[in-house]
């Protein structure tokens, strides 16, 4: 039985007891249902540039382009635009015609309002309300909640469990975008879209990642400031974009941190550098894509809106 479930938009889809350290909650979102004792709620955030990177977690529309002369995007032997939209899951042909007529559709950067336009689905770049539409139905991107102990590789010479074992029911040849250490958990994206994968991994696009982290020791404000200002590592200075202390109890602290760095074991190394070793690390978001309530070891296909926001985040 498949371990995948579909998600996204259209692809439907005290009291005398001894204190203890923050629990390994089954809800890695970082949200607390109520106060559980200890120090909570400290927020630290970087400057304006760091704030803008942290805001990459939210869906965004493409920036408006300077006005340029209109170009003819009509392809004489192509497919009618409304048919292409309907096949991509935007609704019926009639609904797609209304999208075109009401000025919601761009083809190759040009606003199209005429219903007779034909396009080549293999080469056309189509946006609806600013969101890129994936026309190649062979391309798929999935979210995986990587369990503890699974290595982020498709094959392991040591025989350890790999992410490939968790997607062996998929027919597509998928590859993972970035990595999570074997001793870390949470969101990992896999795709067969090479351009999307390359851009998500490229430092130019500064895709923010959010983590729920449990560390040893109490986090004082100076520690948060130091993480935002930057700590010296063996491969250079590393900075976090935001640090939020969720809970502190019995010598442990639980935090939510945001950073765009993609270096190996960067979160663990940064906390080691400030004297707070990590005991648990769960990635809960990559750019606009949340882990949500996806169970450990399970996958879900990104829906049309999710995929569109992800593609927008890397200027596709």
Catalytic annotation, residues: 181
- Count each helix (H run) and each strand (E run) in the chain, helices first: 8, 18
Phi-psi region of 37 (alpha: psi -120 to 50; beta: other; left: phi over 0): left
**Length of the chain counted residue by residue:** 316
Q: How far apart are CA 9 and CA 176, in angstroms?
A: 22
CA dist 279 to 48, 119, 152, 206, 251, Å?
31, 53, 19, 26, 12
- Which residue shows structure tokens 């579909």? 6
Q: How far apart are CA 153 and CA 181, in angstroms?
A: 10
Helix, coil or strand: residue 48 = helix
Q: How far apart are CA 141 and CA 300, in angstroms?
A: 9
Beta strands, E only, 115-223: 118-119, 126-128, 131-132, 141-146, 175-177, 185-191, 209-216
């Amino acid at each position: 039985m498949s371990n995948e479930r579909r998600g996204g938009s259209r692809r439907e889809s005290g009291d005398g007891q001894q204190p203890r350290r923050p629990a390994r909650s089954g809800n890695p979102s970082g949200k607390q249902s109520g106060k559980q004792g200890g120090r909570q709620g400290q927020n630290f955030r970087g400057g304006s540039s760091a704030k803008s990177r942290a805001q990459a977690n939210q869906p965004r529309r493409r920036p408006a382009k300077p006005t340029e002369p209109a170009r003819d995007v009509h392809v004489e032997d192509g497919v009618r635009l409304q048919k292409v939209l309907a096949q991509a899951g935007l609704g019926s042909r009639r609904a797609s015609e209304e999208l075109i007529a009401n000025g919601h559709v761009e083809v190759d950067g040009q606003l199209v309002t005429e219903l007779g336009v034909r396009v080549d689905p293999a080469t056309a770049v189509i946006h609806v309300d600013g969101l890129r539409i994936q026309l190649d139905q062979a391309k798929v991107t999935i979210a995986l909640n990587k369990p503890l102990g699974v290595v982020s590789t498709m094959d392991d010479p040591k025989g350890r469990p790999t992410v490939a074992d968790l997607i062996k029911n998929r027919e597509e040849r998928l590859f993972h975008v970035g990595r999570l250490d074997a001793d870390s958990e949470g969101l990992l994206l896999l795709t067969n879209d090479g351009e999307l994968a390359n851009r998500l991994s490229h430092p130019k696009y500064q895709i923010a990642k959010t983590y729920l982290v449990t560390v040893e020791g109490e986090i004082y404000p100076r520690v948060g400031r130091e993480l935002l200002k930057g700590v010296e590592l063996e491969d250079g200075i590393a900075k976090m974009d935001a640090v939020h202390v969720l809970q502190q109890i019995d010598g442990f602290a639980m935090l939510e941190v945001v950073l765009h760095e993609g270096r190996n074991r960067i979160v663990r190394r940064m906390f080691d550098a400030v004297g707070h070793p990590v005991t648990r690390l769960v990635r809960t978001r990559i750019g606009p894509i949340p882990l949500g309530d996806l169970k450990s070891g399970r996958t879900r296909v990104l829906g049309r809106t999710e995929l569109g926001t992800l593609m927008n985040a890397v200027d596709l």
